[in-house]
Amino acid sequence: RHPSGSILSEDAQVLEPFFDNDLIDYAYRLSPDLRAKGGLYKKMIASRFPRLAQIGYTDSGTPLIDDLNGRPAQPPLISFARNISKRILRRMARRIPALRFSPYGDNPANAIYYNHWLRNESRPFVSALLAREDLFADFLDADQVRKMMADHMDGRQDNFRLICGVLTFALWRELL
């Protein structure tokens, strides 16, 4: 697709999704419950990676699959009241700097402890997947991956991002 009124040459193709009318049409045909709050993403995870969907959230312990299958929705009045209070706080925070807060919050209770999650709740999944060296051994040194995993799981190093990169690569290879 070419954006209208573009200064690009005729043979330059723009691959931005917002210029793809078919993609936008598809997105608007989706039901609102799929578009809101990551519904489509959650359903994709549950259908393509059912073992991953069985892992519980860090705070609640509820697996993603249970979340999709009927976590009770909030009553409309509670949801409405919560939205109104957020709007009021945002407007007040514009005028009173002391009321401004980080979008992610400063409360450690709200943090997602990925290292803890990787070492505990998802450890069986991660270990089982990375034990299948056929998924990454052609491209990565299996001994290094094992050492990186052992160091992380024993708490000697924080290799969360590296392990997640290898996991993503291994899951992608599993699909091929």
Domain limit, last residue, from 59, 84, 108 = 108
Could you tell me if 40 and 86 lie in one domain? no
Mean pLDDT of 157-172: 90
Is 72 a residue whose pLDDT tops 60? no
Domains contained in the chain, number: 3
- 136 and 167, same domain (yes or no): yes
CA distance 133 to 15: 35
Distance between CA atoms of 136 and 81, rounded to whole angstroms? 50
Q: 171 and 118, same structural domain?
A: yes
Task: For residues 17-38, give the mean pLDDT.
Answer: 74
Q: Give residue-wise pLDDT tens across range 74-95.
A: 556 776 787 788 888 888 877 8
Q: Would 87 be classed as within a structural domain?
A: yes
Same-domain pairing of 37 and 85: no
Residue 11 lies in a domain: no
3-state secondary structure of 110: helix
**In a shared domain, residues 85 and 134:** no
- 5 in any annotated domain: no
When pLDDT is cut at 50, 70 and 90, the band that residue 59 belongs to is low
Q: Report the predicted TM-score, pTM, of the whole model to 2 decimal places.
A: 0.42
The 10 Å CB-count burial string (b at 16+, else e) for 92-114 is eeeeeeeeeeeeeeeeeeeeeee
Question: Does 6 map to a domain?
Answer: no
Mean pLDDT score, 92-103: 69
Per-residue pLDDT tens digits for 118-148: 888 899 999 999 999 999 989 999 999 999 9
Dist CA 66 CA 72 (whole Å): 10
Residue 1 has pLDDT above 50, yes or no: no
Range of the domain at 171: 113-175
Query: Which has more pLDDT, 5 or 45?
Result: 45
Asked, for residue 12, whether it belongs to a domain, the answer is: no
> Higher-confidence residue: 49 or 20?
49
